[in-house]
Amino acid sequence: MMILKDILYKVTINAVVGSTSISVNKIEFDSRQIKKNDVFVAISGTITDGHKFIEKAIADGAIAIVCETLPKSLEEGVTYIEVANSNQALAYMAANYYQHPSENLKLIGVTGTNGKTTVTSLLYQLFKKAGYKVGLLSTVKVMVDDKTFRATHTTPDSLTINKYLKMMNDEGVEFCFMEVSSHGIHQSRTEGLKFAGGIFTNLSHDHLDYHDSFAEYRDVKKAFFDGLPKDAFALSNMDDKNGLVMLQNTVAKKYTYALKNYSDYRAQILENEFGGLLLKVNDNELWTRLIGSFNAYNILAIYGAADLLGLESEEVLRLISELENVSGRFQYFISEEKITAIVDYAHTPDALKNVLETINNIRTKNEELITIVGCGGDRDKTKRPKMAHIASALSTKVIFTSDNPRSEVPETIIEDMEKGVEPQNFKKTLSITDRKQAIKTACQMAEAKDIILIAGKGHETYQEIKGERFDFDDYKIVREFLKQLQK
């Protein structure tokens, strides 16, 4: 139980009806979760409006309502708080309710289009190896030191974030690495948190189904850096054309990393092969099992962050060489028949291009590259032809297939993709709606030394069709087919 007044600290309040000295049990923003003496925060969402459920919340026991517009008729005995922004109010209320857990550890936020999961997960691994108690809030999973929890979002809602951070406090966690998505920033999920550092990976075409324009998407990311406190660090990628923009208005201490441009943390790729990367980082040689030039950026960001967080440079170099790739991120194996199968989460044009270029830089001319790729339903349609264009231009064969069609007809998504294929590349492409069948066909087509890339789903273990999730694991399926095909 907490006093409502205390939970409202720092919330921008327009009007109060009733007493704020009442005891409330917990905070909820979903009327379906309301129990007796809870406070209900009404949020106007993308599908519906929480304000429609105020009456229901009261009927189910809510004792206080936080909303942007007061209902026409007010219930006796219920406290109403009119706020400027419910999402923001929720974020401050969550931090107050859980006693500001972000202030009791070093919280590092990683934002950008690609690389968030890789950078946060590797930082988690690195700090664990260095002997610390560590937390992780990522798309793949949430870790409270050694305890694993299922992730529902890249950046969960503010109540969930604070709940996990409080658990981390209770476990004695010193560092927490969290992914900060543009949806998360836009919906104020990270507001009221005290960050000790922010890392920018890169910015490319993504989420234009949600944000109105690229400029808005960029400014949302920038807002995260604008909000960092003075004693935090802001570490940005100078090889990305928006790297400087991120640092423009922040009061945090600014640091940079790059492969091509002048920066605080610099790297040069000395070797790039299927076994890993050899880098020269600020005059030291660094070996990593991670593959591909984009991972040189991730490694550099990790190196910089570890340095800024006080880890000793030599130890960091040693520990980085022990890091394992994140599940579903360039996860690969080589079959008995010497066919290489790679599963990668690349589901944006940029990420797909990176992965394909990485493979093409490593493979020889007589090794074929068969790519299996699809695009999600109910999401940004403009990336469909772009991804098909990239896949068909950079592979020897391509199979277009389904990737979480959701409420859409999968064949229509594939047709949208096919529009991006240039005429001279048509003969390389094939469309097989059923993803399992597409993987099987690729396995049958492949010969020794060929490479199969299955892009888009990475660590996901389901296929989402018409609101239902069916078991589906690219890595498991390709392994089984390649095993069956062994002669």
Ligand X SMILES: CC(=O)N[C@H]1[C@@H](OP(=O)(O)OP(=O)(O)OC[C@H]2O[C@@H](n3ccc(=O)[nH]c3=O)[C@H](O)[C@@H]2O)O[C@H](CO)[C@@H](O)[C@@H]1O[C@H](C)C(=O)N[C@@H](C)C(=O)N[C@H](CCC(=O)O)C(=O)O
Binding site, by residue number, is 31, 112-118, 154-155, 181, 187, 189, 379, 403-406, 456, 460
Of 113, 58, 81, which is closest to residue 11 (Cα–Cα)?
81
CA distances to 12, 65, 72, 283 from 82, rounded to whole Å, are: 9, 8, 13, 57
Among ligand ATP, ligand X, none, what does residue 224 contact (CB within 5–8 Å per kind)?
none
Indicate whether 331 belongs to the interface with ligand X (CB under 6 A).
Answer: no
CA distances to 126, 150, 232 from 123, rounded to whole Å, are: 5, 19, 17
Q: Are 252 and 233 in contact (CB under 8 A)?
A: yes
Pick the closer one to ligand ATP by CB: 183 or 253: 183
Give the amino acid at 86. S
Four-residue CA torsion sign, 91, 96, 98, 104: positive
Residue 31 token pair: 């009327």
Residues between 123 and 182 that touch ligand X (CB under 6 A): 153-155, 157, 181
x-or-dash string of contact with ligand ATP, 146-175, rule CB under 6 A:
--------x---------------------
CB within 8 A of 393, min separation 6: which ones?
422, 425
For ligand X, how many residues bind (rule: CB under 6 A)?
18
Give the amino acid at 131. G
Among ligand X, ligand ATP, none, what does residue 256 contact (CB within 5–8 Å per kind)?
none
Angle of CA points 5, 6, 9, to nearest 5°: 90
Pick the closer one to ligand ATP by CB: 166 or 353: 353
Indicate whether 424 belongs to the interface with ligand X (CB under 6 A).
Answer: no
Q: Tokens 């299927």: give the residue.
A: 274
Residue 40 token pair: 């209900």
Binding piece for ligand ATP, criterion CB under 6 A, among 167-175, 250-258, 340-348, 373-381: 340-348
290: helix, strand or coil: coil
Residues between 173 and 232 that touch ligand X (CB under 6 A): 181, 183-184
Binding residues for ATP are 112-118
Pick the closer one to ligand ATP by CB: 165 or 299: 299
Which H helix or E strand runs over 319? helix 313-320
Among ligand ATP, ligand X, none, what does residue 53 contact (CB within 5–8 Å per kind)?
ligand X
Binding site for ligand ATP (CB under 6 A): 114-118, 139, 154, 179, 201-202, 294, 297-298, 329, 344-346, 351, 354-355, 458
Q: Where on the chain is the footprint of ligand X (CB under 6 A)? A: 29-32, 43, 45-48, 50, 53, 153-155, 157, 181, 183-184
